[in-house]
Structure 1
Amino acid sequence: MQFNRIIGHQALKEQLVSTVKENRVSHAQLFLGPEGSGSLALALAYAQFINCEDKQATDSCGKCSSCIKYEKLIHPDLHFSYPFFAKKADETATTYMEEWRKAFLDNPYLSLNHWRGQLEADNKQANINIAEAHDIIKKLSLKAFEAEYKVLIMWLPEYLDTQGNALLKLIEEPPAKTLFLLVAENQDKILNTIISRTQLVKVNKLSHEELATYLVQEKHLSSDRANEIAFIADGNIQEAIDQLAEESNTHFDLLIRWFRFIVTDSGLNIIQLCEEELSKLGRENQKIFIIYCINVLRQIVLVQNGASNMLFLKGQELEFVQKFSEITSLEQLTEAIDLLEKTHYSVERNANPKILFLDLSLQLVLLFKYKSSLKETQYI
């Protein structure tokens, strides 16, 4: 993986390259970024650059023996650790290495849900078990075969739990020329004893423009469609890829009808919409629709706070946002976003969609119809 194949993050790429050129490579680093930001791809590109035999000014050469093996994830001095769904207590990440290579090479921006889909996870919980921790210690105690550095890339150390304490001494005092690159999404779930032993590399989510440009250039979407997907995905490439896979159409019409029934307290129409449309979207499309609604409400918040220059919507969507901002309060919008986020959480956990969306709709009726003085508009 070369830096030039990763979307965005130009300043961070330059920073990582400079640490190598100036011989300031910390032996333990924590790449912290939200899902779909490209933090895992950045960590691999960084490791490839460090071990490249013919480093270029801003990137690895991509042609030397080390780079070729890195590109295929088969370099003997490159090791991966990641959550998996163990069927036996003595299983390690190596057991699923072939599946891991395929999943990453197909999609270097993968999420845990995407990774789960590559395995027979059943109802098992993702975990990095104690057997994996011991296997890491064993692998890194060996001398490097070819490269200057031995590298361990651990994806989602949040899943280490207390067994991560077995790695503390190794992380703090590793063998010479050993590099730990931890790639995480949630700092609060990582053991503090591990965080204190690593150097933080902050990876921001992708901008709307970066993601939309990627969808136009790499996925050959129209500018309008790319902007719509980028708006819903909110910087998450995996989310954008999932939307493309679902081949979903615009959600604007559904949102408008739903909100109209809510604000006018049209009970029968709400029940019919929940039973015949929202509940039948399928779980992934339900999640996408909820995220779309959340993002639209957030755009309304921007308008109310005088930040219209940050809006991404156009046409009817923009008109709706501007008019809805005039007849709602910040408190209402904040509460509505909170309700939608809770519903999204429940959808992920397979709650009954008919009950879920009907309950959400009734709560929104109370919020927008009876806790406000909303006026009739051409949209509501």
Structure 2
Amino acid sequence: MQFKEIIGQENIKQQLIQTVVENRVSHAQLFLAPAGNGALLLAIAYAQYINCQNRTATDSCGECASCRKYEKYIHPDLHFSYPFFASKDVKTAVDVLDEWRSLLLEEPYFDLDIWRSKLSADNKQANINIAECHDIIKKLSYKAFEADTKVLIMWLPEFLDKEGNALLKIIEEPPANTLFILVAQNQEQILATILSRTQIVKIPKLADEVVENYLINKAQLSAQQAIEYSFLADGNLIEANALLNDVTNNNAGLFAEWLRLGFGNRVPAMIAFTDTAAGWGRENQKNFLKYGINFLRECSLLLSGAYELVKLPPQTLEVAQKLSEKVLDLAMVEALINELEQAHYHIERNANPKILFLDVSLQLVKIIKFKTLPQGTQYIYN
């Protein structure tokens, strides 16, 4: 993986390259990043750059023996650790290494749900167990086979339980020429003992313009469609790729119409909408609800007077302004977001979509038309 293959993150790429040029590579680093912004790929490209035999000022060469092996994730001095589902046949991460390499080659931007789909998870919980910790210590105790630097990239160290303390000594005092890179999403879930032994590199989410260009170039979306999908993806390329599976879905128009039906108390029309929504499929239903949550959060910014923070494209912004002026207030928005978040939670857990959307539609009527808010919500009049 070369830096040039990773979408966006130009400042971080330059920062990582500079640490190599100036010989300031910390032996234990934590890449802290939201999902879908390429942090794992940056870690791999960084390791490849460090071990490249003919690196340039901007990237690894991609042609030397080391780079060719890194490109296929088969370099003997590149080790991976990641959450997996232990069973009698799967004791450590190495037992599913073929699946890991295959996923990286086929779909480099992925999350735990996508990784889970590649494995036999059943009802097990993913974790990085004590057997995996011992295997890491064993692998890193060997001398390097080819490279100057052995590299261990751990994806989602949040899944290390207290057994992760077995790694403290080797992280703090690693063998010579050993590099640890931990790629995490939630700092609070990482063992404090491990966190204190790493240098944190914060990687921001992708800019909207970067995601828009990606959508236009990859799927030939129109500029307007790319803006809409970028807004929904919110800097997450995993979400952007999921949205490309249904580029014809007009979430903006559908959600605005749903709100109008609720305001007009048009129950028969809302029942018909429920029947339509039930046939969309789970991913499209989740995308619709997620769009609604993001749209309402933008409306809350309008209602609060924070116009400069609003990211809606012009056509959708006009709809949001009309709704904010004539229908919504902050208490309504808060109540609606709560309903949509609960609906999203239940859709993920295979709730009956027809019953769920009907219930949410009726709650929408209560909140917008009759101004009946959940108990304890303080009403704010415009």
Q: TM-score, normalised by structure 1?
A: 0.92
Indicate the residue corresponding to 2:282 in structure 1. Answer: 283
Q: Secondary structure at the match of 2:123?
A: coil
Indicate the residue corresponding to 2:298 in structure 1. Answer: 299
**CA separation in 1, counterparts of 2:190 and 2:349?**
23
Residues 184-333 of structure 1 correspond to what in structure 2 (within 5 A)? Answer: 184-274=184-274, 276-314=275-313, 316-327=315-326, 328-333=328-333
Letter in 2 for 1:130: I
The alpha-carbon deviation at position 119 of structure 1 amounts to 1.8
Deviations 1:175-197 (A, max 9, x none): 11111111111122211111111
**CA separation in 2, counterparts of 1:110 and 1:90?**
21
Residues 3 and 13, structure 1, Cα contact 8 Å, conserved in 2: yes
Residue 355 (1) aligns with residue 360 (2): no
Indicate the residue corresponding to 1:144 in structure 2. Answer: 144
**CA separation in 2, counterparts of 1:2 and 1:90?**
31
Deviations 1:58-79 (A, max 9, x none): 2111111111111110110000
Q: Secondary structure at the match of 2:145?
A: coil
Q: Secondary structure at the match of 1:148?
A: coil
Letter in 2 for 1:280: G
Aligned residues: 371
Indicate the residue corresponding to 1:95 in structure 2. Answer: 95
Indicate the residue corresponding to 2:107 in structure 1. Answer: 107
Identity of aligned residues (%): 57
The alpha-carbon deviation at position 33 of structure 1 amounts to 0.9
Q: Secondary structure at the match of 1:265?
A: coil
Q: TM-score, normalised by structure 2?
A: 0.91
The alpha-carbon deviation at position 307 of structure 1 amounts to 4.5
**CA separation in 2, counterparts of 1:119 and 1:134?**
22
The alpha-carbon deviation at position 121 of structure 1 amounts to 2.0
Deviations 1:219-250 (A, max 9, x none): 33222222222121111101111121245421
Structure 1 residues 295-304 or 98-107, which shifts more? 295-304
**CA separation in 2, counterparts of 1:174 and 1:363?**
57
Residues 227 and 313, structure 2, Cα contact 8 Å, conserved in 1: no
Q: Secondary structure at the match of 1:277?
A: helix
Indicate the residue corresponding to 2:121 in structure 1. Answer: 121
Residues 19 and 25, structure 1, Cα contact 8 Å, conserved in 2: yes
Q: Which runs of 5+ in 1 are unaligned?
A: 373-380
**CA separation in 1, counterparts of 2:45 and 2:335?**
41
Residues 228 and 313, structure 2, Cα contact 8 Å, conserved in 1: no
Q: Report the CA distance shift for 1:8/1:266 in structure 2 as closer, same or farther (over 3 A).
A: same
Letter in 1 for 2:244: L
Q: Which runs of 5+ in 2 are unaligned?
A: 373-382
**CA separation in 1, counterparts of 2:89 and 2:67?**
35
The alpha-carbon deviation at position 315 of structure 1 amounts to 5.5
Deviations 1:242-296 (A, max 9, x none): 121245421233213311221223333333322x122222111111111111121
Letter in 2 for 1:279: A
Residues 40-55 of structure 1 correspond to what in structure 2 (within 5 A)? Answer: 40-55=40-55
Residues 248 and 285, structure 1, Cα contact 8 Å, conserved in 2: no
